[in-house]
């Protein structure tokens, strides 16, 4: 029969079914119970007269009519053992709700099942039957647990674990079918293990929509871990309320009872499947409903209370074994990732800006997480990608989408196996390759509001459903307008193809993503003190004082060397050589001190800033280096460059040092080619100075920007080791960044940015790099 309003009036006092609220059905508060047992309830503080009883109490104790129980004290009608169990509930330390109390009523064996919930004291009476299993003999609880769980200890993979478990548990319970039913993150379910009678159809591998087990039912399984329906076709017994009790519904919460009636929709669902009896156990891992053990029988079938509670212990053992196998698998990956994390941490140093290290050191972000692609998206330093990743224009749109939707992040981390679902209606999805499925994004607000994105390939998956998941219910209307809602009648296999989603992000990868974020932030904060104004002022003062005070003794040394040269009448060749080397060293020392003075004055607040045409600056430098350019037959190309608001002395020194380096470190017999470009960014300008020189090894990318660090011997290529540190200081004094890309034997490119607040003119005819 279809489920109509009358069915719900029989089950509930105050719930009217609509097409929209079937997921809100109050299944924990029905006014019916399964009629194989009886239920009684009392106010916890007034245990004399029951507040409600089931109308089948007369089949247990036929001495009185149902209404008469409301006028009798409990001790007046209960048998001795039952009253003793009832009295024990006064003292919380003298009983527990797990162990049943065996009694005999009218010569028949019963179990008393007790619990207190809220203000209500419950007693359920359930018959004890002779059980049947596939072994042909009754097993003790100890033997049931051992028989099912002991073989599981030697299995180290999940599919085999489920195969053995379902086979063993069907033997000890006797059900026609035993299944392991697992929930996914959307609470759709799938059968991942099954043991059954040979002649019935297999459900293994089938998927079921989340509507089959709605949220209220899932929540109940977390509280009451087992549930039995001995006969779906049996009539229910009604709960009768004591007419003298005010607000009797306040006592009606059957969450923890064994006899609670079943939703009419679920009963019809089982009837449509031709299932006549069920027993279900919750699989709870990490306090979450991981799945269910679902047992089906195709004729009425009952398990005694002790066997059902033993089943809960067996389910706990299965959950523990699932966790152990999963943990062992995760540990292998954790060990592998720990080594990657250590290497990543070593690559990042505190003495150099972290974001530039991520870009310049070309850290393999793809291998770091064992994914398919990665990208670094910055607001001022450009976009860099590896492996499977969208084009730069699309990455910029993705960046904008996530920047405008901070609610997508939790602690600056967003992880999804379907990035399309987050970008839908925000960007044109045609720009996103069909190969890309999921993404993990970390937002680094402290690092130029940068984002790092990892991409995983989409996986084409075919799901086989038990019926069409799009139509879990059928809705019809009777002649009088009542809704007739029925669960789907067809369980014919229905297939759908799932595209554009990646495999789920496992917990180890999620942990790694969060640790990478923390490492980057920590390294950045370690670096930031080096940029403090106090530190810079102190360093400038030390450098200036040391440089200034050293000049006077150097001049004295040089004067004395001149006097010695003039006064000595007899001088051999060795003496002249020593004297020349000494004077050369003094001059080199003087040059070093001069450059230290220049370095200390970079960014000085006393210097005037003005509109400076970089095209004119480059022409002035060409004139300064005219002899060297002619000697090397060097070519310096530059597109039209912007006019910027800056200290003209500093900006000239910046380009002068970079061009000087390109000339100095050129390859023998190959004319130097130097190209200078400017590109407008969202926050300012990005410049590049590229040459075809000898190049720089990747391991020295940081070293070249450190004071007094030189890569070549003084006799091979003279220098002081201050030029590039001065460039860095000039750029940072203008709120920019400088970094390099290079390949040994091919050449180098020095990049630097200047923030928009430093600029007041734009290129008229831009030619981007």
pLDDT tens for 191-247 read 999 999 999 999 999 988 888 899 999 999 999 999 999 999 999 999 999 998 888
Mean pLDDT on 52-77 = 88
Has residue 469 got a pLDDT over 70?
A: no
Mean pLDDT on 437-462 = 89
The pLDDT tens digits of the residues spanning 701-746 come to 877 887 766 665 545 465 567 788 889 888 888 888 888 889 999 9
For the full predicted model, state whether its pTM sits above 0.85.
no
Coil, helix or strand at residue 542: helix
H/E stretch holding 515: helix 507-527
Question: How confident is the model at residue 767, as a pLDDT?
Answer: 33
Question: How confident is the model at residue 124, as a pLDDT?
Answer: 96
The pLDDT tens digits of the residues spanning 79-122 come to 899 999 999 998 888 888 888 999 998 889 999 999 999 989 99
Transcribe 280-314 into DSSP letters: EEEEEETTEEEEEEEEEESS-----HHHHHHHHHH
Mean pLDDT on 258-264 = 94
Question: How confident is the model at residue 6, as a pLDDT?
Answer: 54
Mean pLDDT on 393-397 = 90
Question: How confident is the model at residue 76, as a pLDDT?
Answer: 85
Give how far Cα 7 sits from Cα of 2, 10, 236, 713, 717, Å. Answer: 9, 5, 12, 94, 95
Q: 205 or 495: which carries more pLDDT confidence?
A: 205
Question: How confident is the model at residue 272, as a pLDDT?
Answer: 87
Question: How confident is the model at residue 762, as a pLDDT?
Answer: 44
Question: How confident is the model at residue 755, as a pLDDT?
Answer: 73
Alpha carbon 643 to chain centroid, angstroms: 46
Mean pLDDT on 655-666 = 92
d(CA 153, CA 150): 6
Distant-in-sequence, close-in-space partners of 122: CB < 8 Å, separation ≥ 6: 39, 40, 41, 114, 115, 116, 256, 257
Distant-in-sequence, close-in-space partners of 224: CB < 8 Å, separation ≥ 6: 255, 256, 257
Helices then strands, each counted (H, E), the chain? 20, 30
Has residue 598 got a pLDDT over 90?
A: no
Mean pLDDT on 234-262 = 92
595, burial (CB in 10 Å: exposed 0-12, middle 13-18, buried 19+): buried
Check if the beta carbon of residue 9 is closer than 8 Å to that of residue 96. Answer: no
Distant-in-sequence, close-in-space partners of 83: CB < 8 Å, separation ≥ 6: 74, 75
Q: How many Å from the N-terminal Cα to the C-terminal Cα in the chain?
A: 74
Has residue 761 got a pLDDT over 50?
A: no
d(CA 716, CA 112): 97
Question: How confident is the model at residue 279, as a pLDDT?
Answer: 98
Question: How confident is the model at residue 60, as a pLDDT?
Answer: 83
Question: How confident is the model at residue 531, as a pLDDT?
Answer: 56
Give me the residues paired with residue 753 across strands. Answer: 686
Q: 584 or 80: which carries more pLDDT confidence?
A: 80
As a whole number of angstroms, the longest Cα–Cα distance in the chain is 143
The pLDDT tens digits of the residues spanning 140-188 come to 899 999 999 999 999 999 999 999 999 999 999 999 999 999 999 889 9
Among residues of the chain, what percentage have pLDDT more than 90? 47
- At residue 324's C-alpha, the angle toward residues 321 and 330, to 5°, is 145
Residue located via tokens 């009754």: 138
Check if the beta carbon of residue 272 is closer than 8 Å to that of residue 491. Answer: yes
| Other Cβ atoms within 10 Å of 135 Cβ, number | 12
Check if the beta carbon of residue 358 is closer than 8 Å to that of residue 382. Answer: no
Q: 523 or 634: which carries more pLDDT confidence?
A: 634
Mean pLDDT on 351-377 = 85
Mean pLDDT on 506-518 = 95
Reported for 11-20, long-range contacts at CB under 8 A and 24+ positions apart, including other chains, are 11/236, 11/261, 11/263, 11/264, 13/249, 14/249, 17/483, 17/485, 18/483, 19/473, 19/475, 19/483, 19/485
Among residues of the chain, what percentage have pLDDT more than 70? 79
d(CA 252, CA 26): 11
């Amino acid at each position: 029969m279809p489920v109509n309003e009358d069915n719900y009036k029989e089950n509930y006092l105050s719930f009217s079914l609509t097409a929209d609220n079937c997921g809100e059905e109050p299944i924990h508060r029905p006014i019916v119970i399964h009629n194989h047992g009886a239920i009684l309830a009392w106010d916890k503080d007034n245990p004399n007269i029951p507040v409600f009883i089931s109308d089948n109490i007369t089949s247990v104790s036929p001495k009185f009519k149902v209404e008469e129980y409301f006028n009798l004290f409990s001790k007046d009608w209960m048998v001795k053992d039952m009253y003793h169990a009832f009295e024990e509930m006064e003292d919380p330390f003298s009983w527990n709700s797990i162990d049943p109390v065996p009694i005999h009523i009218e010569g028949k064996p019963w179990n008393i099942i007790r619990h207190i919930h809220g203000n209500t004291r419950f007693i359920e009476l359930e018959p004890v039957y002779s059980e049947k299993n596939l072994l042909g003999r009754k097993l003790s609880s100890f033997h049931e647990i051992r028989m099912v769980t002991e073989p599981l200890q030697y299995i180290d993979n999940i599919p085999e674990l489920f195969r053995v478990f379902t086979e063993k548990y069907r033997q000890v319970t006797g059900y026609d079918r035993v299944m392991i039913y697992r929930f996914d993150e959307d609470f759709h379910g799938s059968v991942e293990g099954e043991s059954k009678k040979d002649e019935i159809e297999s459900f293994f591998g089938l998927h079921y929509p989340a509507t089959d087990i709605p949220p209220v039912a899932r929540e109940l399984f977390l509280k009451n871990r087992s549930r039995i329906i001995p006969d779906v076709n049996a009539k229910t017994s009604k709960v009768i309320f004591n007419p003298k009790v005010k607000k009797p519904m306040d006592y009606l919460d059957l969450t923890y009872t064994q006899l609670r009636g079943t939703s009419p929709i679920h009963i019809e669902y089982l009837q449509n499947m031709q299932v006549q009896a069920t027993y279900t156990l919750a699989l709870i891992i990490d306090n979450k409903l991981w799945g269910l053990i679902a047992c089906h029988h195709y004729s009425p079938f009952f398990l005694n209370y002790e066997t059902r509670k033993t089943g809960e212990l067996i389910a706990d053992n299965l959950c523990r074994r699932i966790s152990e196998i999963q943990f062992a698998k995760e540990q292998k990956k954790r060990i592998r990732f720990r080594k990657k994390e250590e290497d990543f941490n070593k690559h990042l140093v505190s003495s150099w800006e972290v974001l530039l290290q991520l870009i310049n050191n070309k850290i393999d972000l793809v291998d770091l997480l064992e994914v398919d692609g990665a990208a670094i998206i910055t607001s001022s330093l450009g976009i860099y990608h590896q492996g499977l990743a969208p084009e730069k224009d699309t990455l910029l749109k993705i960046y904008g989408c996530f920047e405008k939707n901070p609610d997508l992040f939790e602690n600056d981390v967003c992880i999804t196996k379907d990035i399309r679902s987050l970008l839908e209606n925000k960007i044109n999805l045609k720009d996103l390759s069909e190969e890309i499925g999921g993404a993990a994004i970390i937002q680094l607000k402290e690092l130029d509001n940068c984002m790092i994105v990892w991409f995983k390939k989409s996986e084409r998956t075919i799901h086989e459903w038990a019926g069409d998941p799009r139509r879990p219910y059928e809705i019809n209307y009777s002649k009088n307008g009542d809704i007739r809602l029925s669960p789907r009648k067809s369980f014919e296999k229905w297939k759908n193809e799932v595209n554009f989603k990646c495999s789920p992000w496992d917990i180890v990868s999620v942990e790694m993503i969060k640790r990478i974020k923390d490492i980057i932030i920590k390294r950045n904060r370690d670096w930031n003190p080096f940029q403090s104004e106090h530190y810079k002022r102190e360093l400038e003062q030390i450098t200036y004082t040391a440089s200034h005070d050293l000049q006077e003794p150097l001049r004295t040394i040089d004067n004395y060397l001149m006097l010695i040269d003039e006064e000595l009448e007899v001088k051999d060749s060795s003496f002249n050589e020593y004297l020349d080397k000494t004077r050369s060293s003094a001059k080199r020392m003087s040059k070093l001190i001069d450059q230290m003075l220049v370095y200390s004055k970079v960014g000085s607040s006393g210097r005037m800033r003005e509109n400076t045409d970089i095209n004119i600056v480059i022409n002035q430098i060409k004139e300064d280096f005219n002899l060297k350019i002619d000697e090397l037959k060097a070519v310096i190309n530059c597109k039209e460059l912007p006019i910027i608001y800056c200290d003209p002395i500093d900006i000239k020194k910046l380009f002068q040092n970079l061009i000087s380096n390109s000339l100095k470190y050129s390859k023998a017999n190959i004319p130097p080619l130097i190209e200078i470009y400017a590109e407008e960014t969202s926050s300012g300008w990005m410049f590049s100075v590229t040459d075809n020189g000898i190049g720089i090894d990747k391991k020295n990318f940081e070293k070249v920007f450190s004071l007094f660090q030189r890569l070549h011997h003084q006799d091979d290529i003279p220098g002081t080791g201050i030029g590039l540190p001065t460039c860095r200081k000039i750029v940072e004094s203008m709120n920019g960044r400088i970094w390099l890309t290079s390949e040994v034997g091919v050449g180098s490119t020095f990049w630097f940015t200047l923030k928009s607040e430093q600029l007041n003119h734009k290129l008229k005819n831009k030619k981007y790099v």
